[in-house]
Every structure is written in structure tokens, then in C-alpha cells.
């Protein structure tokens, strides 16, 4: 039997995505509360996310979202990791409010511990991608637009991790959206 790696690339990457999901799920959580939500985006939903990112980028004027919308089309899968907006009842004040009850009046403000949990889950998922030598990048942009699409109801702080298996990471060394300084082109 002869197997060309290009013919089973997506199935291999979906195995990596599953391992990344497991890493994110088993990452430590503040106060032991598991409020992390994870979904894997593939195929036509990647195209849908990209199209919505283009629209969102045009609406907001955030040029990096337009760049990232093109980049994710090179992904075989995208992990979305977010957190439910629930407080931990510690009244720590890290969110900027003196008590959790005060924070609850502003549901869109995430609990700081939930934000840390998302970061730890993202780090665990990216470490797994690295272990498998898979191209990846953490994207605020795609996560923010996925939140706008309502793909993870009740979640905030959603980040995306597109993954790819190619000869060059398609998510880095992208064309800059910043104007070139004509006096010092290397800046």
C-alpha cells in the first residue's frame, strides 16, 4: 500500500485537534470549577467564519482581522476555547468590582479567574500542537468573531487556534497591515 500524506492530512489533523481538546479540558482550573467550553471548527464553518471576519474587519476598521480571515482558510481545523461567564464567589476584586455580586450586574465582564483559565487551556492546547509539530497560532480575531456568531452561547473570552500541516506555517510571516515608515523601512 502506498499512502500519500496529502490524502489523509485532514484526518491526521483532526486527531491532533482531539488531543488539543483533551489538553485544554484537563488543564488546571481556578477553584476547580470547569467553565471552559471548546469546539472544533472544520470545513464549511471555517469558510463561514472567514467571511464573517471579513465583514467584521470592514465594519470595525481592524485590518488584522482581514488578514487573519484570509489566513484561517489555510487551516484544516480551528479550536475555539472560551469560558462561561460565571463568578467564583471569591470577591477578589481582580475584575475591577469589589464583589462578585457587583460584577454580576455587568454580565459581559468576565471573571478574572475564568480569563486565566482560558489562558491556561490555550497554553495546554498549543503545547500539544507543538508536541505533534503542527502549525498553529492563537487568534483573538477569529475567537471574537466566533463570539459574534453565537457559536458558543454564554461564553466570553473566546480565542481561536487554527491548525495546519504544511511546509510553512500559514499563520505567521503574514503581510503587515501597518504602513511602512518611509524614512526607516525596517521599522
Q: Would residue 142 count as lying in a domain?
A: yes
**15 contacts 104 by C-beta, under 8 angstroms:** no
Distance CA 163, CA 177 (A): 22
Q: Would residue 79 count as lying in a domain?
A: yes
Say which CATH number the domain at 98 has.
Answer: 3.40.109.10
Distant-in-sequence, close-in-space partners of 8: CB < 8 Å, separation ≥ 6: none
Residue (of 37, 154, 32) closest to 89 by Cα position: 32
The cell for 18 is 482531539
Q: In the chain, how many domains are there?
A: 1
Q: Would residue 160 count as lying in a domain?
A: yes
Which pTM value belongs to this model?
0.87
Residue span of the structural domain in which 124 resides: 37-164
Distant-in-sequence, close-in-space partners of 10: CB < 8 Å, separation ≥ 6: 42, 76, 77
Residue (of 161, 164, 133) closest to 38 by Cα position: 161
- What pLDDT shows up at residue 180? 47
Q: Per-residue pLDDT tens, the chain, 187 aa: give them.
A: 888 888 888 999 999 999 999 999 999 998 888 999 999 999 999 999 999 999 999 999 999 999 999 999 999 999 999 999 888 889 999 989 999 999 888 777 888 999 999 999 999 999 999 999 999 999 999 999 999 999 999 998 999 999 999 888 888 755 545 554 555 444 3
Q: Would residue 13 count as lying in a domain?
A: no
- What pLDDT shows up at residue 120? 97
Q: Would residue 21 count as lying in a domain?
A: no
Amino acid at each position: 500500500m502506498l499512502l500519500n500524506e496529502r490524502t489523509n492530512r485532514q484526518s491526521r489533523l483532526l486527531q491532533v485537534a482531539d488531543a488539543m481538546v483533551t489538553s485544554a479540558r484537563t488543564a488546571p482550573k481556578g477553584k476547580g470549577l470547569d467553565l471552559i467550553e471548546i469546539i472544533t471548527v472544520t470545513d464549511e464553518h471555517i469558510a463561514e467564519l472567514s467571511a464573517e471576519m471579513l465583514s467584521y474587519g470592514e465594519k470595525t476598521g481592524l485590518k488584522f482581522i482581514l488578514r487573519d480571515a484570509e489566513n484561517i482558510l489555510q487551516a484544516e481545523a480551528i479550536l475555539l476555547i472560551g469560558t462561561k461567564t460565571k463568578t467564583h464567589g471569591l470577591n477578589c476584586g481582580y475584575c475591577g468590582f469589589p464583589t462578585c455580586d457587583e460584577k454580576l450586574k455587568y454580565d459581559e465582564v468576565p471573571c478574572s479567574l475564568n480569563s486565566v483559565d482560558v489562558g491556561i487551556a490555550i497554553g495546554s492546547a498549543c503545547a500539544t500542537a507543538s508536541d505533534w509539530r503542527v502549525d498553529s497560532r492563537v487568534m483573538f480575531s477569529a475567537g471574537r468573531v466566533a463570539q459574534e456568531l453565537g457559536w458558543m452561547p454564554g461564553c466570553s473570552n473566546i480565542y481561536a487556534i487554527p491548525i495546519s500541516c504544511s511546509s510553512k506555517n500559514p499563520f505567521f510571516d503574514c503581510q503587515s497591515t501597518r504602513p511602512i515608515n518611509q524614512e526607516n523601512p525596517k521599522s
